[in-house]
Structure 1
Amino acid sequence: MELRQLRYFVVLAEELHFRRAAERLFVSTPTLSQQIKVLEREMGGPLLVRAPRVALTAAGEALFRGGKDVLRMVDEVVRETRRATAARAPVLRFGLLNGVPPWLPALLEELLRQCLPGIGMVLTGGTTAHQLRLLDADEVDLALVRTPVRLPDRFAQQPVAREELGVLMATAHPLAARDELDAADLTGHELVLFARESAAGLHDALLATLREHGAEVCLSDSAMGHAQMLAVLPLRPTMIGLGSVRAAAAPGLVWRPLRDAPLRVTYAVVWPTGTRNPAVRALVADLARKPLGEPV
């Protein structure tokens, strides 16, 4: 059993509702359901009755009682360890978003050191959804995400930078000969995106913007991260992807701007509203005064 699975189960046992529990955990409902099934196989039997309403079995009740105690002890050990670490040297635990422009984390770190000289930064990578889970579990102090994103009231966000997105495709793609594209030119083409559960708000916003501007794309059954997309597109000359001009240098690919569709990704830092971390407070206040990169 993994602690993550135990945490999933305890939250579900508290909510007795898959959708509400998934929202608290920042995961999709199918992901939560799959992890609970894995846990049940590990435990050797059902922990839940799923219909007509979610209810705990006797085994589930036992795991719920003991699981809450285990998680409390783990959380306390982590807090004590972090307090001991903080007493030696100030550190900001920063959730570094996968695929961000290289200059953005470098400038954030420089800005942090200007605010609090001598502070260290510990980085943990991941997708938007993963960063929010890390924040919720108090495993990072501040996280970088892609917006739009739905946040609970206990989190606040500050936009810091923005990038224009265009169309990525193989050099052999029929649209590659054009210098610019209109959204309508993408109609009928297979579009590969990242998995929706990794950044649902941005996923939906990109598709909505394309359709509003006349692009009736065919969303691919394949879903992949940015690095995987750059590797696959040269091999699939009928497929297109979305990305920034930074990807134009990838072998076998071309990047084309969209004339009429304002496709952009906005990066924001997110933090717990009640944080007492002086590094978070200082950095957020400075970012509010001077956003990085293209103004948001």
Structure 2
Amino acid sequence: MELRQLRYFVVLAEELHFRRAAERLFISTPTLSQQIKVLEREMGGPLLVREPRVALTAAGEVLARTGKGVLRSMDEAVRETRRTASSGAPVLRFGLLNGVPPWLPERIGELLAARLPGTRMVFTGGTTADQVRLLDADEIDLAVVRAPVTLPDRFAQRPLAREAMGVVMSAAHPLANATEIDPGELSGRELILFARDSAPQLHDALLRDLHARGARIRLSDNAMGHAQMLAVLPLRPDLLGLSSARVATTPGLAWRPFRGGPIEITYAAAWYPTTPNPAVQTLIRALPHHPLHPSASSAPAPHERANT
């Protein structure tokens, strides 16, 4: 048995509803169902009854009761060990969101270094859903996520930065010769997006925004992360993607802004407000109430900005 599977089962035992438990765990319902079946094979018998409604078996009651104690003990052991290991200097376990602008963690590091010198940042990468799970499991102290995202009430959340999105495509795409893209020109064309499970609310919000602008796109079956999309697009002139001007100089690709204004992505910080970690509390106090921007040292030179 893996601790991850035990966590899944304990949450399901509390909710007694696969969809609600999956949403709370930030995983898909089929993934949760599959992991519970794996756990049942490991235990040697059924842990719950699925029809007509979810209910625990006698074995499930035992595992739910004892499993909660195991998870509490493990979480406390991890917290104590990390607290002791980092007692020599402050440590911020930073959730590095996949595809985040490189200047954002740099700016956060600058703010932290100026107010709590000697703090060490330890990075763990992942999607928005990954970051929420890591934060909930106390494996990171601060998560960076893409909004909109509904977080559990036990988390605090604050916007960090915004990034303007446009259309990215192969340099051989028929729209690559345009200086701007009218959203209506995307109608009927195939658009690659990230897998919905990784950030469901953002996924839906992007599609709603495109539709409201007159872009009746066809959502591609090729769901993938940003880095994979950039690798695929030069090979597929029939596909489109969404990205920021950061990719404008990537060989084999063309990036064009939307006519009528960009679609904006918001990056937000999430953390436990009750955390005793001084690095988190110091950083939150240091964050301005307006969106962060690249520092002078990390901002591109004027000629580089002109190219992007």
Specify the code of the residue in structure 1 equivalent to 2:244: S
| Whole-angstrom distance in 2 between the partners of 1:83 and 1:277 | 9
Equivalent residue number for residue 234 of structure 1: 234
Specify the code of the residue in structure 2 equivalent to 1:86: S
Answering whether residue 60 of structure 2 is matched by residue 60 of structure 1, we say yes
- Specify the SS of the correspondent of 2:79: helix
Specify the code of the residue in structure 2 equivalent to 1:272: Y
The answer (yes or no) to whether the contact 1:213–1:261 under 8 Å persists in 2 is no
| Whole-angstrom distance in 2 between the partners of 1:135 and 1:84 | 19
How far did 1:189 drift?
Answer: 0.3
How far did 1:278 drift?
Answer: 2.2
| CA displacement, residues 104-135 of structure 1 (integer Å, 9 cap, x when unaligned) | 11111111111111111111111111101111
The answer (yes or no) to whether the contact 1:160–1:293 under 8 Å persists in 2 is no
| Whole-angstrom distance in 1 between the partners of 2:66 and 2:85 | 29
Counterparts of 1:131-142 in structure 2 under 5 Å? 131-142=131-142
How far did 1:46 drift?
Answer: 2.5
Tell which deviates more after alignment, 213-222 or 270-279: 270-279
- Specify the SS of the correspondent of 2:221: strand
How far did 1:34 drift?
Answer: 2.4
TM-score by length of 1: 0.94
Specify the code of the residue in structure 1 equivalent to 2:216: E
Equivalent residue number for residue 201 of structure 1: 201
The answer (yes or no) to whether the contact 1:10–1:68 under 8 Å persists in 2 is yes
Counterparts of 1:101-180 in structure 2 under 5 Å? 101-180=101-180
The answer (yes or no) to whether the contact 1:167–1:256 under 8 Å persists in 2 is yes
Equivalent residue number for residue 288 of structure 2: 288
Tell which deviates more after alignment, 130-139 or 23-32: 23-32
Tell which deviates more after alignment, 135-144 or 181-190: 135-144
Distance 1:34 1:250, change over 3 A: farther
How far did 1:141 drift?
Answer: 1.1
- Specify the SS of the correspondent of 1:139: coil
CA RMSD of aligned residues (A): 1.6
| Whole-angstrom distance in 2 between the partners of 1:178 and 1:290 | 34
- Specify the SS of the correspondent of 1:292: coil
Distance 1:289 1:64, change over 3 A: closer
Equivalent residue number for residue 30 of structure 2: 30
Work out the number of aligned pairs and report it: 294
TM-score by length of 2: 0.90
Equivalent residue number for residue 213 of structure 2: 213
Equivalent residue number for residue 4 of structure 1: 4
- Percent identical across equivalent pairs? 69
**Unpaired runs of at least 5, structure 2:** 295-308
| Whole-angstrom distance in 2 between the partners of 1:200 and 1:23 | 10
How far did 1:289 drift?
Answer: 4.4
- Specify the SS of the correspondent of 1:264: strand
Equivalent residue number for residue 222 of structure 1: 222
How far did 1:261 drift?
Answer: 4.9
